Amino acid sequence: MVGFALSRPRELEPLNALRHPIRGNGNGWFVWRGPEIPREDDQFFTALHVEHLDEYAPELEPYLALPPGWGVVLAPDYEDVWYDGTLLDV
């Protein structure tokens, strides 16, 4: 399961993804489109099965094997992939 912001439209850019440590049946990925995550919205992310990501964010598929601690930002003609150890802090 991934945390996915289904409330954001598919055409909104960029696509953002952060991988936190794996917990329970979640694989640690949190994915959203557009600007920052609204801190006051506890319901921003919805649990989504990984196999449904191809419907909502097919461009993320090549990055899903990255281990926890990695982040991705994708937009047309733009790709940023980085490691951030603070994502591992629980």
Residue 38, SS3 per DSSP: coil
The tokens for 61 are: 């598929």
pLDDT at 16: 97
pLDDT at 50: 92
Q: H or E element: which one contains 32? A: strand 29-33
Q: Which residues does the chain have with pLDDT short of 50?
A: none
pLDDT at 34: 95
- What is the pTM (predicted TM-score) of this model? 0.92
Rounded CA-CA distance 7/37 in Å is: 12
Rounded CA-CA distance 67/58 in Å is: 19
Of 30, 66, 21, which is closest to residue 48 (Cα–Cα)? 30
pLDDT at 38: 85
Whether 60 and 19 have beta carbons less than 8 Å apart is answered as no
